[in-house]
Amino acid sequence: MTGFSSWAGAGAIVVALAACGHEQPFQNRNAALDSTFGGGPDRQLTFNPAADVRPAWLSDGSGLIYSYEGLSGTVHDRCLAILPQAGGTRRELPCGTSQQSQDSVDAFSEAAPGPDGKLLFTREWSLPGDINPRRGELELSTVSKPGSATTVLTFPYTATNGHLHSGISHIRWLSPTRAIYLASTLTYPRPCSTCEADTVSTGIELVELDLSGATPTIQPIPGTDSASSVDVGATGDEIFFTRNGDSRVYQMDLSSGVSIVAHDFGSSGIARDVAVFGNQLYAVVGGHVDYVVDPLLGPSQLDRGGKLFIADLINGTDSWRIVDSRLFKRPVISPQRDRLVAESFPITVLPGGADTVISRSSDLWLLDLP
């Protein structure tokens, strides 16, 4: 090549080279799954042999946040994860566990996504052999960055009314700066002297949490003693709650403090884990639940799951959703009102009906709503 043509050719090569794209290093080819394992109106979302608990819908309904128990190693931590709204591969959130704490149990739970992407959740930890958590914290962060959390309060603590609050559950947002939760007491009854102690969380009362100031403040809500669950109504001023050993669901106006009975499940059994959307009220009723008042330990409600009931608040009727061989806890309704997710416990009736075995580990189930 000589002359201008060769020079132009070289220039063309430069241009061509600059226009080329590079081959990229290999990428992660493991695509996340985004559907349930099986079909049907009632679908199993999680298959974890250990516990999957405390589901909560993200505010836009795009997914669920819940607490799962890890299986790796001898210490089973509980961490938060997000599932696609139709099931699939969970996205595990930073658990805050470290090699340093590998001999402790870290439990992240009770996640409550709120407005503006905020996220309240509890964090507790204990050492092997402990029967109760050494320390618990209520943390505030965001769904996008749950690892950068600030501690709102630590528990156990003694409330202004003198009650000892050992646990926190059923966290619900009332507004962007206010939330409500169920304060509870923890007891550890042993069925026999050599039996493993069980952990029984029994509600004491509802507490309002105010995050508007520089320092969070809490205030027990009068008239909510013995509460066992809570959900927020159409407005942030209206709550529905249940009480230990009680079949009724109460409706309270927070401003006035006036409460009424919203629905009574009557002979169906003790009502708890209420979830309300519009005029529909879901609750776990009956099933394997015992309410006792121990002379030493005081009142305690041992709940191994119950039937999933739906009540119509307009006409006062109710019915229960039949799902074979399963008991439920903690139902939550999707923002679109078309789905419900709950902890589900398989039950096995031994041959001859001599006894019934209820699994201690739950999976999450997804139920389509009518």
Partner 1 sequence: MKRTALLGLALLLVPGPLLAQTTGAISGHVRNAATGTGVALARVSVDAGGNYGTSDTSGGYRIRGVQVGWHRVTARLIGFRGEIRDSVLVRSGATTILDFSLNPAPTVLEPIVVRAVDSVLDPFATATTQRITAADLRQLPVSSLDEALALSAGAVGESYRGGRLGQQSFILDGLGVKNQLDASTGPLGVRLPPDILQEASLTTNAFSARYGQALSGLINVVTKDGGEELQGRAAYETDRPLGHGWDYGLDRLLLQVDGPLVGKIGFLAAFDATGRLDADPVSAPASGIPRDPRDREPWLLPHNSGETYDFAGKLTIPLNSRQTLRLLGIRSLEQRLLFDPAYKYDTGFAPGQRVSGTLLSAHLQNTLSLGERAMIVDARLGYFGRDFTRGTLTEEADPKFGGFTGSRFHFVGEDIARSRDTASANAIIPGFIAPQLSQNSPWGVPAFFLGSGSRGDVAWNYFRELRGQLDVTYGAGQNFDLYFGGQYAAQKVETFQRVLGFLPAGDSVPGATTSAFTPHIWSVYTEGQARLNDLAFTVGIRAEHFDGGSSVNTAQVDNGRFGARTTVNPRIAVSTILRGATLVASYGKFSQPPDFQYLVDAAFDDTTRTGRFRRGNPDLGFERATQFEFSLRVRPATHSSLRIGVYGKRLDGMVASVPLGVDPDSTVFALTDYGSVRGLEITAEREMVSGFGGRIIYTLASATATSTNAFQLRQFKVDPITHDTTFPARVEFPLDFDRRHSLIAIVQAQVKDQAGPRIAGVQPFEGLEAAAIIRYSSGLPFSRTNAAGDTIIGAPNSARLPSTSTVDFLIRKPIRALGVGSGIYLDVRNLMNRRNIVAVRRDTGKPGLDEASIQTLASNAYLAHPEPIPYESPRYRPYADLDHNGYIEGQSELLPLFLAAARDFSQPLFVYDSPRLVRLGVEVLF
Q: Where does this chain bind partner 1 (CB under 8 A)?
A: 1-4, 6-7, 10, 13-14, 16-17, 20-26, 28-30, 32-33, 37-38, 44-49, 71-72, 83, 87-92, 94, 97-100
Minimum gap (Å) between residue 218 Cβ and partner 1: 30
Query: At residue 139, what is the residue type?
Result: E
* 73 vs 370, beta carbon nearer partner 1: 73
β-pairing, 178-187 with 200-210? Answer: antiparallel
Can you read off the two tokens belonging to residue 113?
């996504």
Give the Cα separation of 362 and 326 in Å (integer). 10
* 1 vs 354, beta carbon nearer partner 1: 1
Side-chain half-sphere CA neighbours of 55 within 13 A: 32
Minimum gap (Å) between residue 316 Cβ and partner 1: 38
Minimum gap (Å) between residue 2 Cβ and partner 1: 6
CA 316 vs CA 55, 265, 286: distances in Å? 27, 10, 18
Query: At residue 127, what is the residue type?
Result: L
Minimum gap (Å) between residue 6 Cβ and partner 1: 5
Cβ atoms of residues 90 and 69 within 8 Å: no
Minimum gap (Å) between residue 151 Cβ and partner 1: 17
Can you read off the two tokens belonging to residue 167?
């646990």
Q: Which of 140, 330, 307 is nearest to 231 (CA)?
A: 330
Name the one residue in this structure whose structure tokens are 């914290």: 137
* 13 vs 131, beta carbon nearer partner 1: 13
Can you read off the two tokens belonging to residue 131?
């029967």
Minimum gap (Å) between residue 124 Cβ and partner 1: 20
Q: What angle do CA 296, 248, 343 make, to 5 degrees?
A: 80
Minimum gap (Å) between residue 219 Cβ and partner 1: 35
Minimum gap (Å) between residue 104 Cβ and partner 1: 13
Cβ atoms of residues 54 and 67 within 8 Å: yes
* 48 vs 259, beta carbon nearer partner 1: 48
Q: Which of 123, 42, 17 is nearest to 80 (CA)?
A: 123
* 101 vs 177, beta carbon nearer partner 1: 101
* 14 vs 349, beta carbon nearer partner 1: 14
Give the Cα separation of 218 and 281 in Å (integer). 27
* 46 vs 185, beta carbon nearer partner 1: 46
Give the Cα separation of 328 and 311 in Å (integer). 16
* 64 vs 230, beta carbon nearer partner 1: 64
